[in-house]
Amino acid sequence: MFQRMKKDWDNYKVGILVAVAYLLLATVLLGEACPTMIFLKIPCPGCGLTRALFYMVTFRWQQAWHMNPVIFPFVLFVFWCVYFRYVKGKKIPFFYGGIAILCVGCILRFLNNYI
């Protein structure tokens, strides 16, 4: 399990570090991390997911739901992926289907809230 985690870290650490640096710098310097909000001043379909995750891990379920209800299936999907990738050491079943379902959920939530 830890060998797979180390291998993934070695393969993706640059991308992870760049993403974290962007999130921190954009939030500190611009007060916002979402490029759509920064440049177009409109929320994207995924807006609110980071704040929803924060509320979720601090056990504020109602606020998480209010920020973006897609966070609940998103977290379940992450656990699904971690379980198959690291615990079972197998290819993640329905990976692309899960991504597609989450994207559709974000788009539907966006259309419901903003259009």
Q: What is the pLDDT of residues 29-61, one digit of tens each?
A: 998 888 888 899 888 888 889 889 999 999 999
Contact assessment for residue 67 and residue 48, using Cβ atoms and an 8 Å cutoff: yes
Share above pLDDT 70 across residues of the chain, in percent, rounded to a whole number = 99
C-alpha to C-alpha distance for 56 and 14, rounded to whole angstroms: 27
Q: What is the mean pLDDT of residues 71-82?
A: 96
C-alpha to C-alpha distance for 97 and 65, rounded to whole angstroms: 23
C-alpha to C-alpha distance for 8 and 44, rounded to whole angstroms: 29
Question: CA 3: distance to chain centroid?
Answer: 24
